[in-house]
């Protein structure tokens, strides 16, 4: 039969990473393309212990739970984010989701009508772009610099397009890794408040900072989330999105949204029809882990920070090789990605094709830009997933591919 899909089905076809994933299932393939944390650092043993406790205690762990998520875990998040990130939320302002991706999809579903203007940082994450395409949003990219979004562009674009939403990631934006300055945070918040634009703040990478906090003081005081800056942490102008995918394990699929109870209530209704609820078992596992006396989440994230910093430094060293001579990039101070402008004229998609044939992949910049032309000469490298040997091999293979192109031209 001939299927008559909805119009929006055309807008979302061509899954960004499918081709890359198919290749990366080969044994020796190195993928620097995806948004993967280090598998070798997962708290496997501690989770195993947690599973034993959860599964030997009560069959309710396997039953349907609350659509909004397991109450003790929401309470844990509430207390932790209050103490360490100066965010003042009540329980009815927290919704657990299937990763941060679902939180973004839910706010888009309940907030964006066909044709509504939505602002995004340029470049932005492929996942965010796909969500907004699905809703038929008019996606408007906002340029930024190393301090964050450029205020003048933001202001002009708001005046011109009257957007409903602004999607940002002030703490290590995906893909650029930019960390916004305090001034820029306040200015962007003020600007959106003035124009009544709701900010969606994705803080999935916010705990992965590489600075030495012993000398500098608490990170979250110097780089507070927009949500923490908003009405003394009470939010309203900001829907905050967090995740345990990068700080514990993505296999649990646990993210969350925090914000005004009106937003959370409507998102909760949409969540219920979207999948009834996320896995109650996984939420109990995570809660058991976080509450366990043998696991310390803060120490675990500190371990990730140390190791990821080492991996980034290794990548930095490898980028000093001749192949990358004319490439431009800013070293991020956190997150999982390095965003590179390729040496003159080199096209990211062509380079990807050649790299895949050598056994390595990265994310081409075109997937991160509303207007593909803007990302044609850029690539995103993930430095957290590959172990050090893989990083060496992967970067060596991409360098080889770069060399072949530059030798030709």
Site for a copy of itself in 271-330 (CB under 8 A): 272-282
Report the distance separating Cα 50 and Cα 396, nearest Å.
40
Alpha carbon of 325 to those of 41, 75, 395, 399: distances in Å? 33, 50, 14, 11
Report the distance separating Cα 389 and Cα 170, nearest Å.
31
159 contacts a copy of itself (rule: CB under 8 A): no
Site for a copy of itself in 39-68 (CB under 8 A): 39-40, 42, 44, 47-48, 51-52, 55-56, 59-67
Site for a copy of itself in 77-106 (CB under 8 A): 97-99, 101-102, 105
Q: Which of 143, 147, 181, 250 binds a copy of itself (CB under 8 A)?
A: 250
Site for a copy of itself in 186-205 (CB under 8 A): 193, 196, 198
Closer of 219 and 256 to a copy of itself (Cβ): 256
Report the distance separating Cα 259 and Cα 97, nearest Å.
14
- Helix (H, G, I), strand (E, B), or coil: what is residue 42? coil
Name the CA radius of gyration of the chain, rounded. 21
110 contacts a copy of itself (rule: CB under 8 A): yes
- Helix (H, G, I), strand (E, B), or coil: what is residue 358? helix
Q: 378 has which bridge partners?
A: 341
Closer of 46 and 319 to a copy of itself (Cβ): 46
Min separation Cβ 2 and a copy of itself, Å = 7
Alpha carbon of 289 to those of 47, 49, 95, 303, 348: distances in Å? 6, 8, 20, 16, 41
Min separation Cβ 208 and a copy of itself, Å = 16
Closer of 264 and 401 to a copy of itself (Cβ): 264
Q: Which of 84, 260, 358, 372 binds a copy of itself (CB under 8 A)?
A: 260
For 227-243, the three-class secondary structure string (H helix, E strand, C coil) is: HHHHHHHCCCCEEEEEE
Phi first, then psi, for residue 27 (nearest 5°) are -55, -50
Q: Which of 217, 218, 251, 344 binds a copy of itself (CB under 8 A)?
A: 251
130 contacts a copy of itself (rule: CB under 8 A): yes
2 contacts a copy of itself (rule: CB under 8 A): yes
Site for a copy of itself in 207-246 (CB under 8 A): 236-237, 245
The size of the interface with a copy of itself (CB under 8 A), counted in residues, is: 85
* Tokens representing residue 233 in the block: 């942490």
Min separation Cβ 164 and a copy of itself, Å = 6
Closer of 251 and 322 to a copy of itself (Cβ): 251
Alpha carbon of 127 to those of 124, 136, 144, 180, 392: distances in Å? 9, 15, 19, 21, 28
31 contacts a copy of itself (rule: CB under 8 A): no
């Amino acid at each position: 039969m001939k299927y008559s899909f909805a119009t929006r089905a055309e807008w979302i076809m061509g899954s960004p990473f499918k081709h890359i994933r198919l290749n990366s299932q080969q044994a020796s393939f190195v993928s620097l393309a995806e948004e993967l944390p280090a598998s070798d650092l997962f708290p496997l043993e501690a989770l195993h212990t947690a599973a034993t406790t959860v599964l030997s205690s009560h069959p309710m762990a396997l039953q349907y739970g609350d659509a909004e998520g397991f109450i003790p875990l929401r309470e844990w998040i509430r207390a932790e984010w209050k103490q360490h990130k100066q965010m003042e939320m009540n329980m009815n302002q927290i919704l657990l989701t299937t990763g941060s991706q679902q939180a973004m999809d839910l706010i888009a579903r309940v907030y964006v009508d066909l044709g509504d203007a939505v602002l995004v940082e340029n470049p932005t994450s492929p996942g965010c772009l796909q969500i907004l395409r699905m809703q038929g949003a008019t996606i408007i990219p906002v340029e930024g610099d190393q301090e964050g979004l450029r205020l003048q562009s933001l202001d002009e674009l708001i005046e011109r397009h009257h957007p409903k939403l602004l999607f940002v990631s002030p703490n290590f934006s995906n893909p650029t890794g930019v960390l916004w300055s305090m001034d820029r945070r306040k200015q962007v918040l003020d600007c959106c408040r003035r124009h009544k634009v709701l900010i969606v703040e994705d803080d999935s990478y916010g705990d992965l900072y590489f600075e030495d906090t012993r000398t500098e003081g608490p990170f979250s005081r110097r780089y507070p989330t927009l949500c923490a800056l908003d009405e003394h942490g009470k939010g309203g102008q900001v829907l905050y999105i967090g995740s345990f995918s990068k700080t514990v394990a993505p296999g649990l699929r646990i993210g969350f949204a925090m914000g005004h109870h009106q937003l959370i209530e409507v998102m909760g209704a949409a969540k219920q029809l979207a999948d009834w609820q996320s896995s109650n078992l996984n939420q109990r596992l995570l809660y058991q882990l976080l509450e366990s006396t043998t696991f310390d989440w803060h120490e675990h994230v500190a371990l990730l920070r140390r190791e990821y910093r080492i991996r980034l430094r290794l990548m930095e060293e490898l980028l000093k090789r001749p192949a990358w001579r004319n490439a431009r990039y800013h070293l991020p101070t956190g997150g999982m990605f390095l965003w590179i402008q390729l040496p003159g004229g080199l096209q990211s998609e062509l380079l990807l094709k050649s790299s895949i044939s050598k056994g390595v992949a990265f994310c081409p910049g075109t997937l991160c830009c509303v207007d593909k032309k803007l990302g044609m000469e850029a690539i995103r490298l993930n430095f957290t997933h590959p172990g050090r040997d893989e990083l060496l091999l992967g970067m060596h293979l991409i360098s080889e591919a770069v060399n072949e192109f530059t030798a030709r031209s």
